[in-house]
A and B are shown apart, each in its own frame.
Chain A
Amino acid sequence: MSFVSQFKFLASEKTRDLRHRSVIRTALRSYEVVRDKRKAAFQSWESARQAAAETKWEAINHLDEHLVALTAKLEARGTKVHWASTGAQAREIIAQILRDKKARCIIKSKAMTSEEIHLNDALEKEGFTVVESDLGEFIVQLRHEPPYHIVFPSMHLTRGEIKDLFQKELGDAPSDSPEELTMVARRVMRQKYITADVGFTGGNFAIAETGMISITENEGNARLTAALPKTMITLMGIEKVLPRFSDLALFLPMLATAGAGQPMTCYNTMYSGPRQPGESDGPEEWHVVLLDNRRTELLADAEQRDSLHCIRCGACLNVCPIFRNVGGHTYGTTYSGPVGAVITPHLRGLQEWKHLSNASSLCGACTEACPVKIDLHHHLLQNRRNASAGQPSFFEKLAYMIFGIVANEPAFWSLAKKIGWLTQPLQRAVKGSALDPAKAWTKTRDLPPQPLESFKDWWRNRK
């Protein structure tokens, strides 16, 4: 099945699924309340957004300089920096580190880049044990499915389903209380931090000025992952840079507010190296893998370059009427929602993924929600334009050609009006059925009735 027919099939399944709808609505309603409260606590959320957008603009439009500065600082303190042009290269770099370390068990904290390059599958095929430590990621890993949402991986599941899952997979589910289920995961994970050979993390921001990688999380799992195993690996997209250490004073509360309606995420931690002389713990080795994976192609598109400003807060997903109805898995992509629809065609091919840019009402809620002011809904339009310029549809071209002839010639236009008026009842009779040539459109939409008197007639006859 092609990506587009799969999308259409799953979208129509999910939009009919009332249980799914109620689970997502409940989850997002509480988010909306706290997000609005936190936004209101800012003295000026709008000024903060503009400054965040300009800071990211500065970072992305001088990306080469910032990456050179970042890596020089990281390497000066003993961190090994690797560069990967493709997902395959990143997987091989990581697998080679694990082989060199004769590692068996890897404990992971949440990293969307690792989903992007399908890291877990590749490592498991080589016989490594990979444990996701973030609770939501752990749950979807047990279900052998990708995360539903870039920030809330398991938001599509109810406590009952999670209880059944834990009972089946872990044989341990005392009740369906979220508290007790969380404690089950805590117990499972505790020893894993201590016994794992390698800790794996993603990164939220990379500070060029000081050579640090900042990781944002609520659970403390990334803190433990970066504290206990002897080797640490961090995989991060090259677009994550911020110029200055002090920029975090703005970005950390904004990420927390837009992403989860928190004043600050529970743990925001900046790492600048492996264990340093005189420190009591921490990894002996730290490997940072910088991933391109076609981000430079997105960078080359100056019109949509600002989509690399994305800090992966998920705010645009949460407000998107399409995301809320079709759900995260329907997209079939690592990054879903509006930002996923914008960047996936660049990362994975425009013609195969252009349908995501069409699956939008262009309401602009995403652009409004974005803390770094990415012009998301205009980028969806640009994707549509680029897709049709690259591979125009024969029937569309034909239709516009005929329309052009008819609309330019008053005689044809008035004839078309008469035909339209006469065939109107027929259209109504076959509307949406197999006999209707425009059924894809008319199945779910009404054609407004054509009035007896056109504007032209009215204008001519007016007193």
Chain B
Amino acid sequence: MATVRQTDVNRLLDAAQTQVQKNRQRLEKGLDILLAREEPLVGVTPKDVIYSRGTLRLYHYRPMSDEVYRVPVVFVMSLVSKPFILDLTFGQSFVQYMLAQGFDVFMVDWGIPRPEDKRLKLDDYVLDFMPRCFEEVQKATGEKDYSILGYCMGGQLALMHAGLNPGAPIANMVCAATPVDMEGMGLFRHFSDRRWFDVDRLVDAVGNIPPDFMLRSFEMLRPMDRWMSYVRLLDNLWDPVFVYGYRVMYKWTNEQIPFAGEAYRQMIRELMWENKLMKNTLTLDNRRVDTKAITCPVLNVMAEHDHIAPFAATKPLTSLVSSRDTDEVVLKGGHVSLVAGKNAVGRLWPKVAEWLGERSV
């Protein structure tokens, strides 16, 4: 009986010690967050800036192997968020994964629009900046053709570029979480309904759309997410891996960037109100964006529970193009976990690498 009691006491002591240890880690990690100590490093995959213009930077990531696929792949980021979501941190970087799989990877980083960039229109991004970047990619690789991987709005820009330039040597196009049918944009469409949302008055008043405005509009789609993420953080504050992952994602979510005013006006008027990309009636600089002229292989990657680019808005993408070689991947998870996180590491990245690999020789 005495032995049993001794065992129990030991067990209790062990449990107490574990709790003390956990609480010590909670305190330590909590202070790290509160005092912004040891900020996680993001976007650290070695790269060279091979072209820059205004805030735009074109990165060429240093290959990780002696032999790469012939066709380079160019990541095109959205205009509303920082591109390090695709190159988060070691072991959680899509870019790094693609390099390890033998791809020659480039990335178009639009940078943070300055006040004077308020006049930039989609026309500038699609008809000027993007073609210039692709020319630089061609120069750097010596290859004529290239694949484009667009995330979120980056996919829309890729579609516009391809639709405007039927002769462009685009080998493949991967669109991830790319909304095309604005009828399916849910609350976003409702918030920006022309009956109550005066986009002209807003853009005329503020120029570039402030980052805080963008952040709040995303948060309003799921108002509880932020508060529940704090509760989950408290629950897991003792776990360094969880806390690191939380801080990396928190950094990305909260480092919102402004949206160039004129481009925003166009997005709302042409895409959100008129749904012109879906109706194939969009024009940029008086030239028609004909998505039906797109014939390259297209992979559409969607998230089932995406609240920013809902499934209903992303699903019709392959129906807009004339490509014979189209493929769709629907993954569980949301807008961000589609390209970063466990789901992405285990499912999306290998799928994209396999799909592109077969078409990049």
- State yes or no: do A and B come from one complex: no
A residues sitting closer than 8 Å to B (CB atoms) are none
B residues sitting closer than 8 Å to A (CB atoms) are none
